[in-house]
Amino acid sequence: MPLKITLKPHERLIIGGAVIANGSAATHITVENNVPILRQKDIMSFKSADSPCRRIYFAIQLMYVDGKDLPEQHRIYWELINDVIEAAPSTEGLIAEISDLVLKKEYYRALKLTKRLMEYEREATKHVRKADRSVYSCPEDEHVRPGNRGFRTHPNGDDTRGMPGQLGCAGSGTDT
């Protein structure tokens, strides 16, 4: 069954490995055979693959649109997912679903599912950044002592780095 695509002005897409750029007017295209197709909103550049889950997406994208060096692309993919699962075991179920699609060579569906993984990563990173800001922020009247990089010094003068519950503002006596 043919696929009908309407391209917005200046929109790009990949059809069968070829990058196509539209001109200044909307264009209607009908693809009559089964080839890999990615619209601009789904295309990730190498430069944009700047996080572990985004690199997974990029690896699958290469499998889908290029497919020339599948053994190497699969090797990279399996290394990436192992690293992500090791760092975030809670992703294992979603990654298992993505991997199942990769093994079945259903790369387009795997890409769509990987967008959920990237969203999970984005949300987790956002929460980590919030926690990082709150751990290292001090009330206005308390200042971190120079040289201890945000860690409080114990009243006896010992550095409390690495001790549970000892992150906080210098001299505050409480953790923030």
Per-position DSSP letters for the chain, written without gaps between them: --EEEEEPTT-EEEETTEEEE--SS-EEEEE-S---EEEGGG---TTT--SHHHHHHHHHHHHHHT-TTHHHHHHHHHHHHHHHHHH-GGGHHHHHHHHHHHHTT-HHHHHHHHHHHHHHHHHHHHHHHHHHHHHT---TT--PPTTSTTBPBPTTS-B-TTSTT-BS-TT-SS--
Q: Given this model, what pLDDT does residue 125 score?
A: 85
Q: Are residues 56 and 110 in the same domain?
A: yes
Q: Given this model, what pLDDT does residue 130 score?
A: 66
Q: Are residues 54 and 107 in the same domain?
A: yes
pLDDT mean for each 10 residues of the chain (176 residues): 90 92 93 92 95 97 90 96 95 97 97 97 81 54 45 47 43 44
Q: Given this model, what pLDDT does residue 129 score?
A: 66
Domain enclosing residue 173, as ranges: 129-176
Q: Are residues 58 and 104 in the same domain?
A: yes
Q: Are residues 28 and 54 in the same domain?
A: no
Q: Are residues 110 and 63 in the same domain?
A: yes
Q: Given this model, what pLDDT does residue 106 score?
A: 96
Q: Are residues 49 and 80 in the same domain?
A: yes
Q: Given this model, what pLDDT does residue 68 score?
A: 85
pTM: 0.71
Look at residues 97, 120, 143 and tell me which one is the last residue of a structural domain.
120
Q: Are residues 75 and 107 in the same domain?
A: yes
Distances (CA, A) of 62 to 8, 17, 73, 85: 24, 9, 7, 21
**Number of folded domains in the chain?**
3
Per-residue pLDDT reduced to its tens digit, 122-165: 998 887 766 656 555 555 444 444 444 444 444 445 544 444 44
Q: Given this model, what pLDDT does residue 11 score?
A: 94
Q: Are residues 2 and 65 in the same domain?
A: no
Q: Are residues 55 and 113 in the same domain?
A: yes
Q: Are residues 72 and 95 in the same domain?
A: yes
Q: Are residues 95 and 137 in the same domain?
A: no
Q: Is the dihedral of CA 109, 111, 116, 120 positive or negative?
A: positive
Per-residue pLDDT reduced to its tens digit, 133-143: 655 555 544 44
Q: Are residues 109 and 136 in the same domain?
A: no
